[in-house]
Amino acid sequence: MTYPKNLTPKERLRKAIQMRRDIVEMVNAAGSGHPGGSLSSVELLVTLYNEYIKHDPSNPKWKDRDYMIFCKCHITPAIYSILARVGYFDPKTLLTFRKLGSDLQGHPSRFHPLGLEMSGGSLGQNLSIATGVALGLKTQNKPNRVWALSSEGDLQEGQSWEAIMSAAHFRLDNLTYWLITINYRLMGIVKM
């Protein structure tokens, strides 16, 4: 199935409830993880992955896809849940989160599961990568968008501010940066 598609408010709510259930079950089964940040990202991820981001789970490297870059990489329970629920892999594997030998580790790896564009862990790094991807796409006149989801921790890194200033300097109107604050409210969007 190719996305985006339109959801009714009821479908959006049902998907958010399912993701919340996934996150709590995954963290509980693993005995570790970051439930707060994951739970705070649910509605945004449901909306982005279903209604805005252009992607195809049956063809993860589709040349016309949009790029979702996670800067807030400690929210792997939410990342894995949304990827499973839109069809990148079987949701039954979610309970293998953080288990030895599982593809679903504590920090995301672009090699597995399918659907991840970048590995993550170091604060600030992935916003720079998102800016670079957006600049590369723009210089090639490609219509693909880049979406980046971050938290306030990234803003403590100089590299993040350099990326934000570069995005403004190069007028990257194909980059949308989402920031979620520590009190788990959507602080705002920076659409370049």
pLDDT at 19: 97
pLDDT at 154: 77
* pLDDT means over runs of 10, the chain (192 residues): 87 96 95 87 94 95 94 90 96 95 88 86 82 97 94 80 93 90 50 50
Which positions ≥6 away from 67 have C-beta within 8 Å? 117, 130, 133, 137, 144, 145, 146, 147
> Which stretches does DSSP call E strand in 13-110?
67-70
pLDDT at 151: 80
pLDDT at 65: 96
Domain spanning 9-191, CATH architecture:
3-Layer(aba) Sandwich (3.40)
Token output for 181: 């604050």
Token output for 158: 């100089």
